[in-house]
């Protein structure tokens, strides 16, 4: 039972905080007692006890004894609130320590009842069941440090701590505050609970060393004030995706409908500005919140990595949250330590295209899974909603990234040179489709170009800037970069007398020929050698030429092969004019 899968002490402590919130506490205190250890060459602090104190409704003798039993509790059949599994207090405690003591009171702390679990006594055979709670005074050290000793409440104290990986109070707080602020963000935001974090030295005299309150940490970066560094501690760093950033999916369980809410956000363009925004304080904060937040009864179970792209630093710039009620625990596969939704993780791993087979729609697939009584069927629509929206959000983020890079490197000399060559060709009598709309009013041309660029996936600010530059500088060509839903490397669209060339950022040629010559991605030190970059660009060009050669080779008739060759020759003649500078 000690090896029950708690990720670390922060998640084990969360079980105790859950109990406090379930007991309607308005104040919860995480208190850590330290002592000095004298080594041969130095003195250092180490944790002696960890305690959780609350001002909840407290427990009588029967409930206190039940609370310390494995698989027992007062909320086993409840579908309301955080608790239900009857494992939290004993299971989480012995995962970190060898003894847990509990005092609880309903008529003032002077009338507290006490019981305990001790691993040593269990192993020796002296303890075969949870001891009957008896009246016992609360140790004076906790009365002196704690602030929540009100008419009712509970104090849980861990001793003989042997499995906590963090040896000092500061390490526990450093690693727990971020997680606790995220887990209980809704309770902190609503003011339903205040969570105090305090540590103290016990000897030679009691002395506070740290004393602070947990600050909410929202992985969607919409709630403020929050723990994100300035300026995003006071203003949201992300915005909701779509007209309504929340999607609702209804799932049937036990003959009743239950709503699941999925929320999508992504970073404001301001948060992505500058060189390497991921290395800025707010970018580093976001890097610790990568993933899909799975929330049950307003409390986060986990920050799932199942939908993230590993080692991609831009993943920090989006947020997704799934919220569901305890009535759907079996459907989501909630673990009894409330650290994961296993079925959600399973559906995330499924290859959607493989599931859908050859051309089958999601509705048909859902029907087939239902007939097969597949337990994952109710989650299929959730998977589809997440993956569909994430694809679009990643396109927006990529467009933001490209826009930022373009502003740092941009030069319109290529567009200007191409415009000059085109003007000379027009004088020679070569007429193009785009030339027919060159006489449109300038403001109408600018608006038409802006709309086309936005529809291609560029951020509004970038589309406006490119359209304005094109018209003001009298350019014939606009180069844009976006994630296009086409196998082509680029698209060509004549609009308002201008030729818009959009490079497809999802095409492998883009990585070989364009991105490799740009600055390095976020969080990657720009030490890559020029030789490597040039090799990738050279290889990319060769592969493109090989692809064209194969295109000619696969033409089904001699006439079509001759036509492809003629196109290559004609294009080569025009390319020679454009490349000669």
User: Mean pLDDT of residues grouped by 10 in the chain (581 residues)?
Assistant: 83 93 95 84 86 97 92 55 63 94 97 96 93 96 95 97 91 92 96 96 88 97 96 96 88 92 94 87 96 96 93 93 95 87 89 62 77 84 91 82 55 78 87 87 91 82 86 88 78 89 79 59 50 71 72 85 88 79 61
Looking at 358-441, list the stretches that DSSP marks H as alpha helix, in order from N- to C-terminal side. 362-371, 380-409, 413-427
Q: How many residues does the chain have?
A: 581
pLDDT value for 178 = 94
- Taking alpha carbons only, the member of 20, 30, 13, 4 closest to residue 91 is 4
Asked if residue 101 is part of any domain, the answer here is yes
Same domain, 415 and 390: no
Q: Are residues 247 and 161 in the same domain?
A: no
- For the segment 479-505, what is each residue's pLDDT rounded down to a tens digit? 888 777 777 888 888 899 999 888 888
Give yes or no for a contact between 301 and 328, defined as CB atoms under 8 angstroms apart.
no
What residue has token string 């740290």? 210
Q: Is residue 401 part of a domain?
A: no
* Whether residues 70 and 119 fall in one domain: yes
Say whether both 140 and 254 belong to one domain: no
User: Are 153 and 195 contained in the same domain?
Assistant: yes
**Among 149, 179, 213, where does a domain finish?**
213
Residue 16 lies in a domain: yes
Measured between alpha carbons, how far is 120 from 100 in angstroms, rounded to an integer? Answer: 12
Within a domain: 525: yes
What are φ and ψ of residue 97, in 5° steps? -140, 170
CA 395/CA 466 separation, integer angstroms: 18
What is the structure's pLDDT at 512? Answer: 65
Q: What gap in Å lies between CA 98 and CA 430, rounded to an integer?
A: 87
Check whether residue 164 and residue 93 sit in a common domain: yes
In a domain, 344, yes or no: yes
The residue among 350, 367, 395 that closes a domain is 395
- Number of domains, the chain: 3
In the prediction, which pLDDT does 68 show?
Answer: 93
Q: Is residue 338 part of a domain?
A: yes
C-alpha 7/C-alpha 4 separation (Å) is 9
Shared domain for 416 and 297, answered yes or no, is no
| Residue 519 shares a structural domain with residue 419 | yes
257 and 194 co-located in one domain: no
Domain boundary among 369, 395, 421: 395
Pairing of strands 134-135, 113-118: antiparallel
The pLDDT of residue 517 is: 56
231 lies in some domain: no
Residues 261 and 170 in one domain: no
Domain of 54 in residue numbering reads as: 9-213
Cα separation, 519 vs 524, in Å, equals 10
CA dist 28 and 150 (Å) reads 12
Give the pLDDT score at 17. Answer: 95
Are residue 373 and residue 243 in the same domain, yes or no?
yes
Co-location of 434 and 325 in the same domain: no
Output the pLDDT for position 198.
Answer: 96
DSSP labels, 440-476: S-HHHHHHHHHHHHHHTT--HHHHHHHHHHHHHTT-S
| Token digits of residue 311 | 């080692």
Task: Using a cut of 0.75, tell me whether the model's pTM lies above it.
Answer: no
- Kindly state whether residue 404 falls inside one of the protein's structural domains: no
């Amino acid at each position: 039972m000690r090896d029950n899968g708690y990720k670390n002490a922060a998640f084990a402590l969360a079980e105790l905080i859950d109990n406090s919130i379930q007991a309607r506490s308005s104040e919860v205190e995480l208190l850590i007692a330290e002592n000095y250890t004298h080594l041969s060459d130095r003195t250092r602090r180490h944790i002696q006890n960890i305690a959780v104190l609350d001002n909840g409704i407290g427990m009588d003798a029967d409930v206190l004894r039940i609370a310390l039993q494995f698989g027992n509790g007062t909320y086993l059949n409840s579908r309301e609130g955080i608790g239900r599994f009857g494992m939290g207090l004993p299971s989480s405690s012995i995962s970190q320590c060898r003894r847990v003591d509990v005092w609880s009171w309903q008529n003032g702390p002077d009338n507290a009842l006490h019981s305990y679990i001790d691993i040593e006594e269990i192993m020796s055979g002296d303890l075969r069941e949870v001891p009957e709670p008896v009246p016992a005074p609360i140790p004076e050290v906790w009365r002196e440090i704690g602030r929540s000793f009100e008419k009712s409440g509970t104090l849980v104290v861990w001793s003989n701590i042997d499995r906590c990986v963090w040896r000092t109070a500061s390490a526990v707080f450093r690693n727990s505050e971020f997680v606790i602020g995220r887990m209980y963000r809704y309770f902190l935001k609503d003011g339903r609970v205040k969570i105090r974090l305090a540590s103290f030295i016990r000897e030679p005299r009691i002395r506070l060393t740290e004393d602070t309150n947990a600050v909410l940490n929202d992985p969607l970066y919409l709630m403020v004030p929050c723990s994100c560094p300035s300026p995003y501690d006071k203003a949201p760093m992300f915005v909701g995706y779509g007209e309504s950033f929340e999607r609702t999916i209804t799932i049937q369980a036990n003959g009743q409908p239950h709503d699941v809410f999925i929320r999508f956000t992504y970073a404001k363009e301001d948060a992505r500005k500058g060189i390497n925004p991921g290395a800025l304080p707010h970018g580093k904060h976001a890097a610790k919140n990568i993933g899909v937040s799975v929330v049950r009864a307003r409390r986060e179970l986990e920050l799932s990595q199942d939908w993230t792209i590993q080692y991609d630093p831009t993943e920090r710039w989006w947020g997704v949250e799934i919220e569901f009620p305890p009535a759907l625990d079996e459907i989501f596969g909630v673990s009894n330590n409330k650290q994961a939704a296993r079925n959600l993780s399973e559906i995330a791993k499924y290859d959607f295209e493989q599931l859908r087979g050859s051309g089958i729609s999601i509705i048909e697939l859902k029907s087939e899974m239902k007939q097969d009584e597949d337990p994952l069927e109710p989650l299929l629509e959730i998977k589809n909603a997440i993956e569909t929206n994430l694809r679009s959000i990643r396109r927006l983020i990529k467009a933001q990234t490209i826009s930022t890079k373009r502003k740092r490197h941009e030069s319109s000399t290529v567009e200007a040179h191409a415009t000059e060559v085109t003007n000379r060709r027009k004088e020679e009598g070569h007429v193009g489709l785009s030339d027919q709309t060159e006489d449109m009013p300038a403001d109408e041309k600018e608006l038409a170009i802006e709309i086309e660029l936005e529809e291609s996936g560029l951020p509004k600010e970038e589309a406006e800037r490119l359209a304005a530059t094109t018209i003001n500088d009298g350019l014939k060509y606009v180069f844009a970069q976006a994630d296009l839903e086409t196998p082509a490397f680029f698209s060509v669209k004549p609009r308002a007398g201008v030729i818009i060339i959009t490079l497809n950022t999802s095409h492998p040629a883009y990585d070989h020929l364009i991105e490799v010559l740009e600055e390095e991605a976020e969080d990657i030190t720009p030490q890559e050698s020029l030789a490597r970059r040039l090799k990738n660009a050279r290889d990319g060009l060769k592969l493109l030429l090989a692809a064209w050669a194969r295109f000619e080779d696969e033409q089904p008739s001699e006439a079509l092969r001759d036509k492809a060759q003629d196109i290559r020759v004609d294009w080569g003649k025009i390319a020679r004019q454009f490349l000669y500078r």
